[in-house]
Amino acid sequence: MGIPRQSLGTSRISPLLVSQTEPYLEQYYNSDRPNNTRWQWQVCDRLEQSIILPSLNLELPMNEIYRRISF
C-alpha cells in the first residue's frame, strides 16, 4: 500500500543507522524542503567526529553516543 505521496513532503524522517560493533553512523536527510527532492548522506566513523541532525537542529558527538561501548 505504501505512504501517500503528498505526506512525504511534510515528513521529518531522517534515517540514522548506528553500528553496534564499531564507531559508525550513517544518516540520510532531506536538504531541500519543501520540495523534498534533494537527499544527503552523512557518515561518521571516528569517535572524534560529531554527527549533525539537521531535522532536530542538533549536533551529537560520537564519543557521547558510544560512551559506554568498548571496541
Q: Per-residue confidence at 12, pLDDT binned at 50, 70, 90?
A: low
**H or E element that contains 45:** none
Asked if residue 71 belongs to a domain, the reply is no
Asked if residue 27 belongs to a domain, the reply is yes
Asked if residue 38 belongs to a domain, the reply is yes
How many domains would you assign to the chain? 1
pLDDT at 52 over 60: yes
Percent of the chain with pLDDT over 70: 75
For 13-23, the pLDDT digits (tens) are 778 899 999 99
Asked if residue 20 belongs to a domain, the reply is yes
Rounded average pLDDT over 40-44? 91
The more confidently predicted of residues 2 and 54 is 54
Q: Per-residue confidence at 53, pLDDT binned at 50, 70, 90?
A: confident
Average pLDDT along the chain: 80
Task: Look up the domain containing 22 and give its range.
Answer: 5-65
- Please name the residue ranges forming H helices in the chain: 5-8, 62-65
